[in-house]
Structure 1
Amino acid sequence: MRFFVLLLLFILTIQTSSAATLFVDPSSDGDEAINAAMQQAQPGDIVHLNSGTFWVDDTINFADGVTLTGDGEVKLVDYVGWNSGKTMFYASRLSDITISSITVDGNSQGNTDVPFGQGYYGLFLFRNCENVVFDGVTLEYAKSDGIIFRNGDGITVTNCTINKMGHEGLYSLYTDNVEFTNNICFTRTNSACRIASGEHVLISNNEIYSGTITAADGGGSSTGPGIEINIDSGQPATDIEISKNYIHDLRGSGIWMTSESTKGDGVYIHNNIIRDVGNYPSDNKYSTAGITIWQFNATLIENNVFDDTGIAGVRYAKRASDGVVDEEFTTIVRNNVFINIKDKITIPAEPVMNSYSENHKFYVYYNDFYNNYDAFDGNLCIAWNNFALNPMFSDSMYHLKDDSSLIGAGYNGADIGAYGIGSDEIGTIGTIDHDEITDPGASDEPATEPTDDVNEDLDNCTSDEPNHDLDNATIDDGRIPDEDEINNDLDNCTADYVDNSTTEYVDNSTTDYVDNSTVEHHRNGHSQGTGYALIETPHEEIVVCSAELTKPTFRRPVS
């Protein structure tokens, strides 16, 4: 009988002056072994999983104030047969929980009888919890979400490896104080991090990518964005920052933001590298650009690099199912580099694309547009002081050469590109310290501005509206009540990612203003520079070639 597993447990308790450490040996009935330790633990205690595999076929319930750590792996058994909504770990109305160092394996290879993204066999579910930390944890091979955090306050996911979840890596709903930092995420089905309402959110220094997914992984395919923020008409949010992420090799957009209300406001996106994303084969309006936005106001997008990002670097786009709000939405796009943006589907590519100008407006200034399918012409944008210069990158992570014309050329004298804001303090983008490889073929000559300037005054800017405030934010602080159904999958996600989302998320910043500069000399046309764009990631082999001729191509090694 299974209760005899208690006779086999080795739970060694070491008492200290303030806490106890409970050591648990691996077991074929791992859920009973870990639950026994949790029941014994007091707030402040440590449950340490010794090296080996803890096989589970029932939920492990957290205790209040406990740290779960160790060298062990917690793994779901084959064909577990749970109903949708049941997860490997669960906590409700608890606080001060830390999970560190362990591995949690959802065993999608052994549970092929249920679909991805439909709420089956998630790893962690927290409801109404506070101050939960994941540090150095490996989450892998889930059929649904890695971590769901609902109606809480304080969730930190840092230094983690998140590998092939069946839905989101972190799915935070109606939660304040969220940090998702320094993680490496291989996505499957949907995003690495999805936010649905809350205040004070930081998504920074992550590497987010996807690639070949085989039967050995349990199948599935990645079609979602790297990062998703979505809102309906309910709870607002404020203070959202997406920075210093390296997002690459995705079928979907690098970042997708969508709202059904006027409560999407003030997201700050800066110092990210977004490369080879937006590869969806048809225009579903949310998977074909570096950043796709619908009905978010006062978004500031600055000092990023967009390289080969579908049909647009930044795009406003409306799906057929999206509701339209009687409000004007604005986005500032400045100090960015847009390169290698080419036609991938039947819609001609544009670096900044406004596919719904009825209520969406771009302010575009001090950006560099180079080697794209179509020169940026400011159509459906208010634009000034943009350039078409060879950026002259010095290495694989888009640092500028010392003689690049983009140094000091940006708004407020900043460098244009991913390292332009306080560049001495930016440091590494993403989680990996990529080698800086000098391009032996790069031109030593500074790129020159093209001489065929046309359409210089794109915005018809006048100076009678100085310092125009874009956001005019209002706040509705109504709370969404907790829901009874466990692990309610709000987007009804399927493997091909059809989102019928009713979740919510918004930032309500009032800090962003338009620069009403009267100096306007938009540079239109392709640069004639002869430099090279050097691209490399730790996951791919580089082929360096002239950016003036074609974008670099890649061959993924067989694992």
Structure 2
Amino acid sequence: MHILLILFVGGSGALSPDLAAHSIFPGNSMEFSSISPVSMFFLFPSASVISVSTDGSGDYNCDGIADQAEINAALQYAKSNNLNTVHLESGTYTIDDSIEIPDDMTLSGDSDATVKLIENWDVTRSDMFTPMITGTTVVTENYKGGSDITISGFTLDGDRFNQSAISAMKEIDSFPGIQFYYSDHITIEDMVIKDMPGDGIRINNGRGEKANGYNKILYNTIYDTGHDDIFLMYGNYDLIDGNTISHVAHDCGIRLDNSANTMVTNNIIWTDNEGLSGIYLLKHENDADSYNITIAYNTIYDTREMGILLAMYADDMPVTSARDVHIHHNTIYGTGTEYATGNPYGGGIWLDGWNNTIIENNVIDGSRGDGIAYAQRLPGLNNTATYTTFVRDNIIMNTIDSPFQSDGGYGINNYLGENYTFVLESNVIWNNENGNYNNVSSHDTDINRNPLSADTFDYVRYKIALWWRHLVGE
């Protein structure tokens, strides 16, 4: 889109020396050999969108070599001229360094636009913190952040199976796709993020006086990353909603470390004998409490370990340091697919501590290990506080024993002892291989019969619909 700019000149017909020599708009150059003494007309883009293309039609144009240079130039031009969007048109953009988005800016793209990491990226360990996309605000020597940034609509491809230098380092926690530190109001939506050497999305909100948050990760498709698909540290008022994490390939689908006031809702997470757990909450520092986290309306299946895992990684944390998680209306089935010697973890929902957790209205079916358990994923810790978890109105059925973990195969199990208490109310617990309960004191209000016989429970139809959705790729 363009506007007509009318430039009035003085009676002498003279322009400033710089303008008389040439006028350049990015991607277009105009040379002036004669100047009218009356007026002059220029065509300049006027829309709030600056376009980037691979075919020469954009305001900025890429040639497939270090395309981040043109994209970053477009972003800086937009920022300098009070424009708010840079849009990537159809095509493949090959980068060998970070795209850096200024604050208050949107980087959008056509659905068939792909930003791809160069094959066999020539990097060393000093580059291991370099993401494909980040902000412009310098946080430390290795990390950048930003505020009020939106990334939407295109594909981000890390080409991790063709990164020999990165593979040789075995730094799985590095080289993320999108990374922001000490940032707020970052929105990542409607993206395809795949084949990352490290995390797909990695956001560290900071802590204490530097704490930020209010980030949104919405409606993305993420798969085959080298670490976590979505990894939030010190999350605060963040929302992770409506994402499809279709192949958890290494660590976890969604991971929250030392986070608070965060919602994880309406996501679909599955894998095929790779990766670990579906949703993972980890508390490992005393200076940032984890609390008020909701995990709801997610579908998680076929994960190697747990569907949902709440873990701790420090001794003798105060009971208030990890608390108040609400896990409800999730469907978890077939989790714990690949127990192995030395890696005896699996089940529907595992907790190590996390006081005042409420688990209600979930369906947990066919997990290998236990349906719900107090257990340590990171063994050897000594937490002496007293923890209570409320488990009510769930359906837990068809749990399968593991050949590698003793005392498993129950609907609800407690491996951790008397300072960990389940309070059970009105659950349907049925047909679990080694029994419905182990080391659980009271379950008088539970129902121990086949839930499929209940007219009010249409789980079979729902489960068939989920399987069909998976098979047809919708």
TM-score category of the 2 structures, normalised to the smaller one: 0.7 to 0.9
2:168 paired with 1:105: no
- Which shows bigger deviation, 34-43 or 133-142? 34-43
Unaligned runs of 5+ in 1: 1-5, 213-221, 394-399, 405-416, 419-435, 439-532, 542-556
| Corresponding position: 1:90 with 2:150 | no
Aligned equivalents of 2:326, 2:443: Cα separation in 1 = 20
- Report the residue type matching 2:184 in the other structure: E
Residues 430 and 436 in structure 2, CA contact (< 8 A), matched pair in contact too: no
User: Contact conserved, 1:285 with 1:317, CA < 8 A, in 2?
Assistant: no
Q: Which of 234, 252, 255 is 1:194 aligned to?
A: 255
| 1:513-532 equivalent positions in 2, closer than 5 A | none
Contact 2:412 2:437 in 1 (8 A): no
Matches within 5 A, 1:360-399: 360-377=420-437, 379-392=439-452
Distance 1:313 1:119, change over 3 A: same
Choose from 257, 271, 276 the match for 1:224.
276
Return the alpha-carbon distance in structure 1 between the equivalents of residues 49 and 28 of structure 2.
13
Residue 15 to residue 8, structure 1, CA distance change in 2 (3 Å): closer
> Which residue in the other structure is 1:80 paired with?
121
| Paired amino acid for 2:409 | A
The aligned counterpart of 1:335 is 393
- Superposed CA offset, 1:335-391 (max 9, x none): 011111011324341111101114211112211112221332463333221111111
| CA distance in 2 between partners of 1:127 and 1:195 (Å) | 14
Aligned length in residues: 396
The 2-side partners of 1:307 and 1:107 are apart by 35
Please give the per-residue CA displacement for 1:137-180, whole angstroms capped at 9, x wherever unaligned: 11111011011111231210111111111111211111311110
Q: Aligned AA for 1:35?
A: N
- 1:246 is matched with 299
Equivalent-residue separation in structure 1 for 2:171 and 2:305 (angstroms): 16
* Amino acid in structure 2 at the alignment position of 1:202: M
Deviation per residue, 1:179-199 (Å, 9 max, x gap): 100110021101121111233
- Residue 350 of structure 1 pairs with residue 350 of structure 2: no
SS of residue in 2 equivalent to 1:268: strand
CA spacing shift, 1:176–1:377, aligned 2, 3 Å: closer
Aligned to 1:466: none
Aligned twin of 1:144: 198
Q: Which has the larger share of strand? A: 2
Shift in CA distance, 369/437, structure 1 to aligned 2, threshold 3 Å: closer
Question: For the pair shown, which has the larger CA radius of gyration, 1 or 2?
Answer: 2
Q: What is the rounded CA distance, in whole Å, between the counterparts of 1:286 and 1:95 in structure 2?
A: 42
- Note the aligned Cα RMSD (angstroms): 2.8
Structure 2 spans left out of the alignment, 5+ residues:
1-23, 30-42, 55-61, 136-143, 207-211
Cα distance in 1 between the residues matched to 2:377 and 2:450: 35
Equivalents in 1 of 2:422, 2:262: separation in Å?
Answer: 24
Cα gap change, 1:48 to 1:283, in 2 (>3 Å): same
Partner residue in 1 for 2:173: 119
Query: Does structure 1 residue 35 correspond to structure 2 residue 85?
Result: no
Q: How many Å apart are 1:127 and its aligned residue?
A: 1.2
Normalised by the length of structure 1, the TM-score is 0.66
- TM-score, normalised relative to structure 2: 0.77
Instruction: Tell me: CA distance 1:540–1:134, structure 2 relative to 1, closer, same or farther (3 Å).
Output: closer
> Identity of aligned pairs, percent?
24
Instruction: Select the structure that is richer in helix.
Output: 2
The letter for the 1-side match of 2:278 is G
**Where in structure 2 are the equivalents of 1:390-409 lying within 5 Å?**
390-392=450-452, 401-402=455-456
Distance in 1, matches of 2:465 and 2:398, equals 11
Q: Which residue of 2 aligns with 1:409?
A: none
Q: 1:536 Cα shift?
A: 5.0
Residue from 222, 225, 236 that aligns with 1:165: 225
Q: Specify which of 328, 334, 354 is matched with residue 276 of structure 1.
A: 334
CA contact (8 A) 1:253 1:286 kept: no
User: Is the 8 Å Cα contact of residues 117 and 145 (structure 1) preserved in structure 2?
Assistant: no
Matches within 5 A, 1:482-521: none
* Offset of residue 129 of structure 1: 1.3
SS at match of 2:70: helix
Taking a change above 3 Å as real, the CA distance of residues 173 and 13 of structure 1, as seen in their structure-2 partners, is farther
- Give me the whole-angstrom Cα distance separating, in 2, the residues matched to 1:539 and 1:106: 27
Task: Check conservation: 1:55, 1:74, Cα contact below 8 A.
Answer: yes
**Which residue of structure 2 aligns with residue 496 of structure 1?**
none
Q: Aligned equivalents of 1:100 and 1:276: distance in 2?
A: 32
- Match 2:100 to one of 37, 61, 67: 61
CA distance in structure 1 between the partners assigned to 2:44 and 2:178 by the alignment: 26
CA contact 2:409–2:433 (8 Å) conserved in 1: yes
Q: Secondary structure at the match of 1:87?
A: coil
1:471-515 Cα shifts (integer Å, max 9, x gaps)? xxxxxxxxxxxxxxxxxxxxxxxxxxxxxxxxxxxxxxxxxxxxx
Partner of 1:289: 347
Q: Secondary structure at the match of 2:305?
A: coil
Secondary structure of 1:185's aligned partner: strand
How much does 1:117 deviate?
Answer: 5.7
Change (3 A) 1:295 1:374: same
Deviation at 1:535, TM superposition (A): 7.9
Q: Greater relative contact order: 1 or 2 (C-alpha under 8 angstroms, separation 6 or more)? A: 1
